[in-house]
Amino acid sequence: MRVVRIDACGLPVTGSGSMVIVSKGFVQVQNEPQYEDGEEFFERTADGTVCVNQKDDPVLKRFQTTIDFCEVNTTMFAFIASARELTASAAGVTGFGFAFAEGSPSNRYSLEIWQKVAGSGACDASGAQRYVYNAWPNLGASKIGSYTIENGRSTFQVVSESQAGSTTATTGWLNGPGSGTSWLPTGETLGVGEHWLWNVTTTAPPTAACNPTTLT
């Protein structure tokens, strides 16, 4: 997965204060569509005959993503969940904790995930590995899931809600993470009002790293 800090308008933050983190330390990402059901109109005449039977189409409002982490990158987790990262050094370790305070989450981020295609369709005609590429350009309103301390594995969970990605010319999400790169496979762009993108591509994922990098 790749997580990139974006601002309140959905624009990737560059330079000072920016953040790009690539990690393999997650178990799964669930993507659940949130719909508003269409209004239903039903009426009978005085003798019980159906007079009106109409239902409006549902409206897709947003997606809810649930990320389960098995390996916690404290910088990434603290940012996604709008927590304060603990950066004081202790025994040679820096930035290995976080603290939560009351209030509303304010941080926003984009999320990209690559999955290797397997089986007979694993490679294209030239022999290049193919990947299923998922992208949510604008996630936020993040809530943390329950956390259990026991004689067993411990996992962290974050639940976020999507907004439409930014299509602002030259600085929008569709133009890529900084100079010389692209968010989407060549030739693809982000349309107005779009929340989630799914594609099969030969564009390989970036290499996982422990430390965040700066977006230029």
- Is 75 contained in some domain? yes
- Is 192 contained in some domain? yes
Q: How confident is the model at residue 19 (pLDDT cuts 50, 70, 90)?
A: very high
Number of domains, the chain: 1
Q: What is the pLDDT of residue 179?
A: 53
Tokens in use for 2?
Answer: 């790749």
Range of the domain at 99: 2-36+53-114+138-196
The 10 Å CB-count burial string (b at 16+, else e) for 34-52 is eeeeeeeeeeeeeeeeeee
- Is 109 contained in some domain? yes
Residue range 133-162, pLDDT digits in tens: 899 999 999 999 988 888 888 889 999 999
Q: How far is CA 203 from CA 23, 29, 86, 137, 151, in A?
A: 17, 20, 35, 17, 41
Q: What is the pLDDT of residue 138?
A: 95
Pairing of strands 40-44, 84-86: unpaired
Distance, in Å, from the CA atom of 21 to the CA atom of 96, rounded to the nearest integer, reads: 15
- Is 201 contained in some domain? no
Residue range 69-97, pLDDT digits in tens: 988 888 899 999 999 988 876 655 556 78
- Is 133 contained in some domain? no
- Is 17 contained in some domain? yes
Q: Say if CB 171 and CB 158 are below 8 A apart.
A: no
Distance, in Å, from the CA atom of 46 to the CA atom of 66, rounded to the nearest integer, reads: 50
Q: What is the pTM of this model?
A: 0.88
